[in-house]
Chains A and B, each alone.
Chain A
Amino acid sequence: MGRSIKKGPYIDVKLAKKVDSMEEGGKRSPIKTWARSCTIPPNFVGHTFMVHNGKMHVKVFITEDMVGHKLGEFAATRSFRGHTNKKEGLKAR
């Protein structure tokens, strides 16, 4: 179920402020953040974020299509690369 319309989308206040101040200053450097649950509003487009995935910050460049999604959707928290192949596993030894 979605969030109530009355409240509007959840946008991390501190993060939004940071973006605003950057816009004023005219520079666009990557912003480090832990706010994975923050919804992406239209004015984030064109900025780059370093979204924490639990271990490190993943670079995420915001495009127009990403508006409405949350920052965390673009920084995977799991790194499953498949099970080890039995044959290859033996070769390695």
Chain B
Amino acid sequence: MPRVVGVDIPNNKRLDIALTYVYGVGRATATKVCEELRLDPAMQARDLSEEQLTNLATHLEKVYVVEGSLRRQIAAAIARLRDIGSYRGLRHRRGLPVRGQRTRTNARGRKGPKKTVAGKKSVKGMK
């Protein structure tokens, strides 16, 4: 299987889909990359030539922020919020939703699996 940008191994799929396996590349970016490099988005990723592969890799690294550097960029942004003692940083620290969502119910994506609290009334019972 071909490798692009480090460890990413897109498989036997259309090129525009295979590219979305790279962190930081979605459908929109993938389609754009194909256009910029004059590659057929419908071609199978395994049919890429060596030259096309190197082109893809250098292009992705140069024009877009992907994989490690993107992860680092995001982590740095969060670290900044924490360091300046802002409300958003505090929410990140506590692992709670950052953008003002409710936490009485839901927010499971941030809080993780439910922890049952004894004696707590159910949402239905609260009215």
Contacts and interface: CB of A to CB of B under 8 A. Distances in A.
Interface in A38-93: 63, 65-66, 69, 72-74, 76, 83
Contacts of B86: 66, 69, 73-74
B84 interface: yes
A73 B88 contact: yes
Nearest to A75: B87
Interface residues of A, number: 9
Contact count band on B: under 10
A40 to B, nearest CB: 10
Contacts of B85: 74
A63 B84 contact: yes
B87 A65 contact: no
B68 to A, nearest CB: 24
Contacts of B87: 72-74, 76
A83 B119 CA distance: 13
B83 interface: yes
19 contacts: A63-B84, A65-B80, A65-B83, A65-B84, A66-B84, A66-B86, A69-B84, A69-B86, A72-B87, A73-B86, A73-B87, A73-B88, A74-B84, A74-B85, A74-B86, A74-B87, A76-B87, A76-B90, A83-B117
5 closest Cβ pairs, A-B complex: A73-B86, A73-B87, A65-B84, A66-B84, A74-B85
